Amino acid sequence: MTDVRSGGAVHNRWLIAGAGVVMQVVLGSVYAWSVFKKPFVDAFGWPIMDVGFTFTLAILFIGLAAAFGGKFVDKAGARKVATVAALLFGAGTLLTGLAAAMGSKYLLWVGYGVIGGIGNGLGYITPIAVLVRWFPDKRGLVTGLAVMGFGFGAAIVGQIAPLLIPSFGLANTFYLFGACFLVLLLGAAQYLNNPPADWAPAVSVTSKLHTQKPIASFDIKTALGMRQFYILWVVLFINVTAGIGLISNLSPMAQDQVGVAAALAGTIIFVSSLFNGCGRIFWASLSDKLGRKGVFMLILGTQVPLFFIIPHVTNLWVFSALACYILACYGGGFATMPAYAAETFGCKHMGRIYGKVLLAWGAAGVVGPMLMEYIKTTSGNFKMAIYVSGAMLAAGFLVNLLYKNPHAHIAADESVCAISGDVGGAVCEEVAEVPADA
């Protein structure tokens, strides 16, 4: 285990990372929403679009909460924000159970979509903002590890929920989940904190950094005036729009296109969710070696032909393999982007800046599924919608080509934030603000 020392206190940063992973696993349960859609429709006869709107609301408020909650991680402290997130997400899950008991669609939207979504967004941004500071030498790896949990959460809950609902009922299942989520999230929140002002990395880390080129840290106002911010925003938006559109319709696509039963389609979702999680750690770790821009070129570019192939695939194994790879790229984009942003803008204001980048997630969470549904309704199938997603990915590939590191022209003595050349990380202390002319 690697400890870091501050003012005589020893902080086990891997314990902090573990708490971040636990929090992300719980919050990732939101991606298992599809397993609850049919039970709600069967129980109350609501239109499936209304039940699906719950997920759209949740993703929207996750993005909004992450965008505007990041500044509280920088100011109020990670533990406080994580605790609030735990209370809101747990309460939202419990309210979902109450909505099921009462048969209230509007309470479902407010509980799971709004309250739970806000708690999820606050909880999502907190470990990311914290861990890039604690792990300057392994930034891609640790953020990949954290958000890997988000991908696995859906796989776990997606398998447990169908077993609980027939035995305990829909409402009691959410009550049980809500209680468990509260305990796990509140426990994990107590381990999350920003590095102290006098934090210093271990000697083994600093020894690698003495001769490395420094980078600057930008404030939120400066970052919003830089073209790099909008390049990162658009790249994330496109990757999420394409991926989440497929995720939200993967089961009906498998049933209609491949001809499998609903149970087998559920297995495809489970396996592809595992790839969603594993892809996060794979691509993020690879970005420590190849660089963030290079990895996004691979993530976006390799998906383009697959989105034009998958609508024509009728073989179960080929369809599943393509879906797994696409979801691995979807998760990899989430895992690589925090390090991309930190090495573009510095990490002093990471919570606030990356929160604004995550607005792309909220926007894509609305656009992706709605675009798929609209095109399917007008064309009668998913093919054209998938083609549109493929074209968007090609556009994202071109946008990412325009990215240039804004620190390339900044003199070495303008900052005390140093890049580690061999791992692609950065150590950020109290850094001076510098203007951007990029």
- The DSSP-derived string for 10-41 is EEEHHHHHHHHHHHHHHHGGGGGTHHHHHHHH
Residues 341, 336: Cα–Cα separation, whole Å: 9
Mean pLDDT of the chain: 81
Whether residue 179 has pLDDT greater than 60: yes
> In angstroms, rounded to a whole number, what is the distance separating the alpha carbons of residues 403 and 236?
13
Which helix (H) or strand (E) covers residue 215, if one does?
A: strand 214-215
- Residue 268 CA to chain centroid, in angstroms? 21
Better-scored residue on pLDDT, 395 or 154: 395
| pLDDT for 202 | 56
Residue 117: closest CA among 95, 99, 101: 95
Is the confidence at residue 425, as pLDDT, over 60? no
**pLDDT for the residue 359:** 86
pLDDT at 184 (0 to 100)? 96
At 409 the pLDDT is 54
Q: Which domains does the chain have, with CATH numbers?
A: 12-198+205-427 (1.20.1250.20)
Question: What is the predicted pLDDT for the residue at 305?
Answer: 96
pLDDT at residue 336 tops 70:
yes
Which of 97-111, 151-165, 193-207, 327-341 has the weakest average pLDDT? 193-207
Please report the pLDDT score of residue 200 as a whole number.
57
pLDDT winner (highest mean) among 175-179, 224-228, 369-373: 175-179
Residue 141 clears pLDDT 90, i.e. is over it: no
The C-alpha atoms of residue 191 and residue 15 are separated, in whole angstroms, by 7
Point out the least confidently predicted range of 24-28, 41-45, 144-148: 144-148
- Among the residue ranges 102-106, 247-251, 314-318, the one predicted with the least confidence is 247-251
Average pLDDT over residues 393-410: 86
Which pLDDT band, with edges at 50, 70 and 90, does 45 fall under? very high
Angle made by CA atoms 287, 21, 142, in degrees to the nearest 5 = 25
How many helices and strands, by DSSP H and E, does the chain display? 18, 5
The arithmetic mean of pLDDT across residues 406-422, rounded, is 43
345 closest CA partner among 219, 243, 193, 254: 219
In the structure, what pLDDT confidence band is assigned to residue 197 with cuts at 50, 70 and 90?
low
| E strand or H helix at 427 | strand 426-427
Query: What is residue 72's predicted lDDT score, i.e. its pLDDT?
Result: 77
> Does 274 have pLDDT greater than 50?
yes
pLDDT at 133: 75
In this predicted structure, the answer to whether residue 76 has a pLDDT above a threshold of 60 is yes
pLDDT in tens, 61-72: 988 888 787 777
Where does the pLDDT of residue 215 fall: very low under 50, low under 70, confident under 90, or very high at 90 and above? low
Decide if pLDDT at 286 tops 80: yes
Q: Which pLDDT score, from 0 to 100, does residue 216 have?
A: 67
Alpha-carbon distances of 303 from 268, 333, 345, 402, rounded to whole Å = 19, 12, 28, 19
pLDDT tens digits, residue range 229-269? 999 999 999 999 999 888 877 877 887 888 887 678 778 87
pLDDT greater than 70 at residue 224: yes
pLDDT reported for residue 310: 93
pLDDT at 260: 82
